[in-house]
Amino acid sequence: MKTFYITTPIYYVNANPHLGHAYTTIVADAMSRFHRCLGEDTLFLTGTDEHGDKIVQAAEKRGLTPRQFVDEISGRFRDLWPRLGIANDRFVRTTDEEHKRAVQKFLQKVYDAGDIYFGEFGGHYCYGCERFYTEKELENGLCPQHLTKPDFISEKNYFFRMSKYLPWLREYILANPDFIRPERYRAEVLAMLESGALEDLCISRPKTRLTWGIELPFDSNYVCYVWFDALINYISALGWPDGPDFARYWPGEHLVAKDILKPHAVFWPTMLKSAGLPLYRHLNVHGYWLVRDTKMSKSLGNVVDPLDMGQRYGLDAFRYFLLREMHFGSDASFSEEALVGRINADLANDLGNLYSRVLTMTAKFCASRIPEGMAQTEADRAIAELCATAMENYLQLFRNARFAQALEALWELVRALNKYVDSEAPWALAKAGQQERLKCVLHILLACMRKVALCLWAVMPKAARAMLVQLGEEMPDDGTPPTRDLAAEAGSLAGLRVGAQAAPASNLFPRIDPAAQMAEQEAAVAGASKSAQKVQVKDEKRLAGAAAAPLPEISFDIFKSLDLRVGTVREAERHPKADRLLRLLIDFGEAEPRQILSGIAEYYAPEDLVGRQVCAVLNLAPRKIRGLMSCGMVLTAGEGERCRLLTPDETVPAGSPIT
């Protein structure tokens, strides 16, 4: 059986987990789930890195011993992961006895191979990075990471003959293009190797300076350098050298951010080579999550708490957002506006509406029994083909750590399915009594929706499970993947349980009202309830000259709080009690068309409007006008005779947001 072993960095325990740590771990979780759906024997490892100066300093600050301190913070990481829906199989700590034994064995092996020597060394030591820098690596005499002046330390230490393996490593990376991915990081490592700045690696610290570390097996006056110790976690957690899991799962894949590219791309492969062990399969490197284009930091007060996000917006939606928003490899900006935008557009509008529309119709027209059917028309065959292509693209892209693109490929299908609902109009088939055709259309829709849910289980495990249950699938609630053969699922529409009971529609991904959201946030900040609609008058003087600016300035957030969308008019008639009003039923991609009354009866004949696209505000408070409810407002421009409807210049999917 094919195996898949994925690791995250082991996190330092000198700070609490934040969005950055959560991202890497959520991606690893999604990758592990994805490979489980492919039927692979999968192992997912995370853990904590607990040795080194930084830990000693952080513990001292808190008045704790290093041991007490690492137990506490490591526990926080360990407890956080299940609360974010993460199902790691193992959790490694560098203070575990098993890990310490493995590190000592590894050191001895490299020592016996003649790759460790003792020497005097003077270097620029950065306490922040816990490493020495060469003159060449410093930028204007400062540490390039921390921009602080390192201390010059001269002492006797042990060195790993890394330079001996650098030419070999370069050849290896050249011969294996996807060893380090994406490409930009591979290029960065090759440039590093070609720069000549890399030397042998100092791998010890004298105990006179640091005791919180693993003792060298060949000299009890020294402890092991924290990075040399930490990297070995990836195999110590597999019970290396003798444990059966090492033979079973190694080599695996690593997932890291760009900050720790060098230890993973240079130190680790050369260490493995020296110890005579196979190299990892892939190093997957991602960028940083920024907040308003700045790095998250405690002092700036812009650290995003992943648990808080999961609780406020739903864990699955948060996970989806992280994978969809960050193009793996590049930096991405985190903002709640962007999160709400994705939830509303991709989840509530595209995916949620598809589910609710189709399940509503299955309930109404098939008494919630999954109908039988097969592709009959050109449109059916086209959608079946698109389903297969979208899934294949999804699989291929996901496998190669291109998560945003993989989800986009899947959403092409989701959006096409919504269009297929519009074009096949099952309600019209029902009205015309075309029962067979109706069943066939619903069958195709439900079968494709099942494929979408199967793909999404890796990213949104809870929601995908709920979606599959709604489609009549039998799903245990013990974390078992919904399929072990996702690759074969891509080949056909088969798999739907014809005759099974589908659930009634539910609001899988409720729309988030950005205005209410903002109000909530403001209230939380101010400690008092404020109206989100309150116009922010920023500059009174400007307002005084109101002739040029007749309306007060509003913030971008208020503008964004308007739910502006394009809809397709399905029915239009005159209001029975008001000459100037038309009653319109407009499809915005929601479960049911929406009723909006519009004062355009003098300018448009109802029959001319059916099939036309219009722009509207949807989140206006509903209003009763002459006995009929109006849920929104259609946008027009011009006055009197020249009153014209606003329309997109080409047809767009019903419900498209106006941005």
Burial of residue 421 (number of CB atoms within 10 Å: 0-12, 13-18, 19+): buried
Rounded to an integer, what distance in angstroms lies between the CA atom of residue 268 and that of residue 48?
Answer: 18
Nearest-approach distance from CB 71 to ligand MSP, in angstroms: 17
Nearest-approach distance from CB 52 to ligand MSP, in angstroms: 9
Q: 146 catalytic, yes or no?
A: yes
Q: Should residue 9 be labelled a site residue for ligand MSP when binding is judged by CB under 6 A? A: yes
Rounded to an integer, what distance in angstroms lies between the CA atom of residue 206 and that of residue 447?
Answer: 64
Query: Measured at the alpha carbon of residue 384, what is the angle toward residues 318 and 398, in degrees to the nearest 5?
Result: 35
DSSP track, 254-293? EEEEGGGHHIIIIIHHHHHHHTT-PPPSEEEEE--EEETT
DSSP track, 614-638? EEEE--SPPEEETTEEE-SEE-EES
Rounded to an integer, what distance in angstroms lies between the CA atom of residue 596 and that of residue 582?
Answer: 8
Q: Should residue 289 be labelled a site residue for ligand MSP when binding is judged by CB under 6 A? A: yes
Q: Should residue 165 be labelled a site residue for ligand MSP when binding is judged by CB under 6 A? A: no
Instruction: Give the residue with the Cβ less far from ligand MSP, 257 or 498.
Output: 257
Burial of residue 605 (number of CB atoms within 10 Å: 0-12, 13-18, 19+): exposed
Q: Applying CB under 6 A, which part among 202-210, 225-233, 496-504, 565-573 lies near ligand MSP?
A: 225-233
Residue of 54, 109, 124, 143 marked catalytic: 143
Q: Should residue 129 be labelled a site residue for ligand MSP when binding is judged by CB under 6 A? A: no
Instruction: Give the residue with the Cβ less far from ligand MSP, 61 or 534.
Output: 61
Number of Cβ within 10 Å of residue 60's Cβ equals: 12
- Can the peptide bond before residue 150 be classed as cis, meaning omega within 30 degrees of 0? no
What residues from 31 to 90 belong to the interface with ligand MSP (CB under 6 A)? 49
One of 231, 366, 429, 459 touching ligand MSP (CB under 6 A): 231
Instruction: Give the residue with the Cβ less far from ligand MSP, 257 or 625.
Output: 257
Instruction: Give the residue with the Cβ less far from ligand MSP, 4 or 289.
Output: 289
Nearest-approach distance from CB 48 to ligand MSP, in angstroms: 8
Nearest-approach distance from CB 24 to ligand MSP, in angstroms: 3
Instruction: Give the residue with the Cβ less far from ligand MSP, 24 or 32.
Output: 24
Nearest-approach distance from CB 568 to ligand MSP, in angstroms: 41
Beta carbons of 102 and 240 less than 8 angstroms apart: yes
SS3 content of the chain, % helix, strand, coil (to 5): 45, 20, 35
One of 40, 219, 259, 372 touching ligand MSP (CB under 6 A): 259
Q: 286 catalytic, yes or no?
A: no
Q: 455 catalytic, yes or no?
A: no
Q: Should residue 296 be labelled a site residue for ligand MSP when binding is judged by CB under 6 A? A: yes
One of 4, 5, 12, 250 touching ligand MSP (CB under 6 A): 12
Beta carbons of 45 and 8 less than 8 angstroms apart: yes
Q: Give the CA radius of gyration of the chain.
A: 30
Q: 254 catalytic, yes or no?
A: no
What residues from 310 to 349 belong to the interface with ligand MSP (CB under 6 A)? none
Nearest-approach distance from CB 234 to ligand MSP, in angstroms: 7
Beta carbons of 214 and 361 less than 8 angstroms apart: no
Instruction: Give the residue with the Cβ less far from ligand MSP, 19 or 447.
Output: 19
H-type alpha helices, 88-138: 97-112
Position of tokens 């041991």? 67
Number of Cβ within 10 Å of residue 596's Cβ equals: 26
DSSP H or E run through 119: strand 116-126
Q: Applying CB under 6 A, which part among 5-13, 316-324, 421-429, 603-611 lies near ligand MSP?
A: 5-13
Beta carbons of 561 and 519 less than 8 angstroms apart: no
One of 64, 80, 142, 257 touching ligand MSP (CB under 6 A): 257
Q: 129 catalytic, yes or no?
A: yes
Residue of 136, 156, 295, 534 marked catalytic: 295
Interface with ligand MSP (CB under 6 A), residue total: 19
How many residues does this entry show for the chain? Answer: 659
Longest dimension (CA), the chain: 97
Q: Should residue 473 be labelled a site residue for ligand MSP when binding is judged by CB under 6 A? A: no
Residue 24 region, left (φ>0) first, then alpha (ψ -120 to 50), else beta?
alpha
One of 4, 5, 6, 24 touching ligand MSP (CB under 6 A): 24
Residue nearest to ligand MSP (CB): 20
Q: Should residue 93 be labelled a site residue for ligand MSP when binding is judged by CB under 6 A? A: no
Q: Should residue 23 be labelled a site residue for ligand MSP when binding is judged by CB under 6 A? A: yes
Nearest to 219 by CA among 130, 108, 87, 64: 108
Residue of 35, 51, 100, 126 marked catalytic: 126
Q: 37 catalytic, yes or no?
A: no
One of 121, 218, 246, 288 touching ligand MSP (CB under 6 A): 288
H-type alpha helices, 425-539: 426-431, 435-456, 461-470, 486-489, 514-526
Q: Which residues pair with 160 in a beta bridge?
A: 116, 201
One of 4, 5, 20, 429 touching ligand MSP (CB under 6 A): 20
Number of Cβ within 10 Å of residue 397's Cβ equals: 19
Binding string to ligand MSP for residues 177 to 216, with x set by CB under 6 A, is what? ----------------------------------------
Nearest-approach distance from CB 269 to ligand MSP, in angstroms: 13
Q: Should residue 604 be labelled a site residue for ligand MSP when binding is judged by CB under 6 A? A: no
One of 38, 169, 192, 256 touching ligand MSP (CB under 6 A): 256
Residue 521 tokens, joined: 């946030």
Nearest-approach distance from CB 283 to ligand MSP, in angstroms: 11
Residue of 105, 129, 164, 560 marked catalytic: 129
| Residues noted as catalytic | 18, 21, 126, 129, 143, 146, 295, 298
Q: Which residues bind ligand MSP (CB under 6 A)?
A: 9-12, 20-21, 23-24, 49, 230-231, 233, 256-257, 259-260, 288-289, 296
